[in-house]
Amino acid sequence: MADNDNSVHRFSAIRLDGKEQKLADFAGNVLLVVNTASLCGFTSQYQGLEQLYRTYKDRGLVVLGFPSNQFGSQEPGSASEIGAFCQINYSISFPMFAKIDVNGPTAHPLYRYLTDAKPGLLGTKRIKWNFTKFLVDRSGRVVARFAPSSKPTKLAAPIERLLTRA
């Protein structure tokens, strides 16, 4: 396992139920970290994210959802409203976290780390919109960043490659 000082495993975040979750608890798994929103044009990607999780979770994939209201106020709900929306509409079973900021001075430290590790197009660090995805290897190293428009089904091949590595 990688040195915790240089991996996502050094961070923790609050789950929708209010409990703190250490990302170190997911060490040894491939992670797909996604900033989400319930009222976004990409919200239907929840379905594809859940399908990826169900397909690969037994092989070590964990999808982590981080709701954010920073883009067009598309995640206005409370933690319980977000959880109910995800369950009722998409039967989400992967871990969902409390609402966070992903950009700016109040950005969650995990997102500051992710955007530093894998800048976007032309070196831009800012998250452009909801459903930006970061793929993290088993040692906690960020290996890829995918645009909001990247459909979850297109991530199957890179996920497979990481899952088949020792």
Q: Which residues are catalytic?
A: 40
Beta strands in 23-84 (DSSP E): 30-36, 61-67
- Provide CB contacts within 8 A for 23, sequence distance 6+: 8, 9, 10, 11, 12, 13, 31, 64, 110, 140
User: With b meaning 16 or more CB within 10 Å and e meaning fewer, what string describes 105-143?
Assistant: eebbebbbbbbebbeeeeeeeebebbbbbbbbbbbbebe
> For residue 145, what is the DSSP state?
E
How many residues are there in the chain?
Answer: 166
